[in-house]
């Protein structure tokens, strides 16, 4: 199959399946030809392919997994085949809709030849996908192992570009939470955090490689998820898998993804602050909630379930495309 590396953690789980994954690569790398990520340990079945290679192997490609509008045109230009017309295609929608969310129409809403796969049921509910067939495949996450120690009497947050995204990611809430417990913020663009938050106990953790991030998170007493309006963050699931208790806004899919015994999930900021105080004061309470969260995350977001769900979607896409009805997905490219 043809697949662009766009979202690191999501793609890391996706390429664990029993297929060959052709990853476009350009000399300058960049957003349209990043190939295999250098910092991630991906299986050998994830293969870099130049546009010339994609043209040579065009007939071998069974399906293209799209994530951005520009990939439709790039696929046709590089393979000579049109997604949804003479090349089976599926679109992965990673995001919540923007603007007037309940009325936001998806870019594929007027097409019925490319199914849209949402990563949460909340996203599927909120997007207006029009005529497009819709599936939901919830996130799958590679188990980082139970690493929780909670020895650092602080909360951890993971968010990318907290200054640019501001209220979307709850950056404005950090100072209030830091009145209850020190907050360390990790992720892309966190070096600019001081432009938006001046609280002395909100610290910058930086953008760490995944394994180092997991180790750093596990040292914190609690994982704080102050996000108002994004899709379910993979970092939240990873924090639960390492065994951290969670304090989170009850928004988007978080409201149903974090069980009651795994943390405190609410829209009342007072309730959330009380949760932070409780976990700070009682390490055993925090440890028990983290264990419950880990069990839930493994059951709901294990890679085995994720890949099985994706195989069912791909089977459906291929079976509904004229001339693409394989007996099995095993030989698929």
Q: Are residues 131 and 181 part of one domain?
A: no
Q: Are residues 98 and 88 part of one domain?
A: yes
CATH number of the domain encompassing residue 56: 3.40.50
Rounded to the nearest integer, the mean pLDDT of the chain is 94
Quick one: pLDDT at residue 30? 93
pLDDT tens digits along 22-63:
999 999 999 999 999 887 789 999 999 999 999 999 999 999
Structural domains of the chain, count: 2
Q: Which two tokens stand for residue 6?
A: 């766009």
Q: Are residues 109 and 164 part of one domain?
A: no
CATH number of the domain encompassing residue 289: 3.40.50.2000
pLDDT tens digits along 287-308:
999 999 999 999 999 999 999 9
Quickly state the pLDDT bin for 102 (edges 50, 70, 90): confident
* Average pLDDT of the segment spanning 229-250: 96
| CA distances in angstroms from 170 to 27, 160, 181, 195, listed in the order given | 38, 12, 16, 15
If one counts every other C-beta atom within 10 angstroms of the C-beta of residue 121, the result is: 14
Quick one: pLDDT at residue 250? 98
pLDDT tens digits along 142-170:
999 999 999 999 999 999 999 999 999 99
**Nearest 10 degrees: CA dihedral of 265, 267, 272, 275?**
-30
How many angstroms separate the CA atoms of 264 and 260, rounded? 7
Domain housing 246: 152-301
Q: Are residues 122 and 85 part of one domain?
A: yes
Q: Are 94 and 7 in contact (CB under 8 A)?
A: yes
Element (H, E) at 287: helix 283-301
How many angstroms separate the CA atoms of 13 and 308, rounded? 12
> What share of the chain has pLDDT > 90, as a percent?
90
How many angstroms separate the CA atoms of 10 and 166, rounded? 24
Quick one: pLDDT at residue 7? 84
Residue 257 falls inside a structural domain: yes
Residue 327 has pLDDT above 90, yes or no: no
> What share of the chain has pLDDT > 70, as a percent?
96
Quick one: pLDDT at residue 39? 72
Q: Are residues 127 and 21 part of one domain?
A: yes
């Amino acid at each position: 199959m043809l697949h662009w590396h766009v979202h690191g953690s999501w793609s890391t789980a996706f390429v664990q399946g029993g297929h060959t994954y052709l990853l476009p690569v350009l000399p300058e790398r960049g957003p349209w030809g990043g190939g295999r990520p250098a910092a991630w340990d991906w299986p050998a079945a994830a293969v870099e392919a130049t546009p010339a290679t994609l043209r040579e192997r065009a007939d071998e490609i069974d399906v293209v997994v799209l994530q951005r509008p520009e990939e439709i045109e790039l696929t046709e230009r590089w393979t000579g085949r049109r997604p949804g017309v003479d090349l089976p295609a599926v679109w992965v929608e990673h995001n919540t809709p923007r603007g007037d969310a309940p009325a936001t129409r998806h870019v594929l809403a007027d097409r019925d030849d490319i199914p849209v796969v949402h990563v949460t049921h909340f996203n599927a509910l909120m997007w207006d996908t029009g005529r497009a067939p819709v599936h939901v495949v919830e996130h799958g996450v590679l188990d980082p192992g139970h690493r929780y120690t909670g020895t650092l009497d602080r909360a951890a947050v993971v968010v990318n570009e907290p200054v640019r995204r501001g209220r979307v990611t709850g950056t404005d809430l950090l100072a209030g939470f830091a009145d209850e417990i020190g907050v360390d913020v990790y992720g892309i663009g966190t070096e600019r955090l001081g432009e938006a938050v001046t609280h002395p106990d909100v610290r910058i953790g930086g953008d760490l490689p995944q394994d180092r991030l997991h180790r750093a998170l596990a040292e914190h007493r609690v994982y704080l998820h102050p996000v108002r309006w994004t899709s379910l963050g993979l970092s939240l699931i990873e924090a639960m898998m390492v065994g951290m208790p969670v304090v989170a806004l009850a928004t988007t899919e978080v409201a149903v993804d974090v069980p009651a015994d795994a943390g405190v999930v609410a829209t009342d900021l007072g309730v959330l602050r009380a949760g932070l105080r409780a976990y700070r004061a009682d390490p055993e309470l925090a440890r028990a909630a983290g264990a419950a969260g880990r069990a839930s995350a493994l059951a709901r977001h294990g890679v085995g379930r994720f890949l099985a769900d994706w195989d069912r979607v791909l089977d459906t896409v291929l079976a509904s495309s004229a001339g693409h009805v394989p007996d099995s997905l095993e030989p698929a490219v």
